[in-house]
Amino acid sequence: MKWLYPKADIPVFQLSIDTSKELDWQLSIGKTLSQLRDRGVLILGSGNIVHNLRALRFNGKAHDWTVEFDNYFARQLTDCNFSALTDIKKMGALMKMANPTVEHYAAAIGAANKRQLSI
């Protein structure tokens, strides 16, 4: 945040994620946060869309499946196809590799566009 707002002249609120909850619960948190977005509040999800630290390569070379998932996500987001981004069963093994747990993935998507989500 220091690089985005060097004067530190905005309030910041950090939200913890409950790793014990399922996708629908995580999406509902994001959907609730979207009400703040509609009032002009910036919602910033940090990190990578691929969140599998167990498969991290320290040589800097990405796994093929990480590139595939990143490209899939970018296409769906560009097309505002939020239902495709929340259908983790349809994404199957690719989603499981990219995000072994859904909490980091889902809250940001839920906040992105509440009108597009059916949860």
119 pLDDT above the threshold of 60? no
Residues 43-59, buried b or exposed e (16+ Cβ, 10 A)? beeeeebbebeeeeeee
Q: Where are the domains of the chain?
A: 23-52+62-112
Collapsed DSSP state (helix, strand, coil) of residue 10: coil
Q: What is the mean pLDDT of residues 104-110?
A: 68
Tell me, what DSSP letter sits at residue 53? G
Per-residue pLDDT reduced to its tens digit, 28-78: 877 788 788 788 887 777 667 888 888 988 998 999 999 999 999 889 888
pLDDT of residue 108: 62
25 pLDDT above the threshold of 50? yes
Question: Six-digit token pair at 84?
Answer: 């495709």
pLDDT of residue 118: 46
10 pLDDT above the threshold of 50? yes
The gap from C-alpha 78 to its chain's centroid, in whole angstroms, comes to: 14
pLDDT of residue 64: 95
103 pLDDT above the threshold of 50? yes
pLDDT of residue 113: 58
The residue that leads in pLDDT, 106 or 56, is: 56
Q: Do the Cβ atoms of 35 and 112 come closer than 8 Å?
A: no
**Residue 106 burial (CB < 10 Å; 0-12/13-18/19+)?**
buried
116 pLDDT above the threshold of 70? no
- Residue 83, φ and ψ in degrees, nearest 5: -65, -35
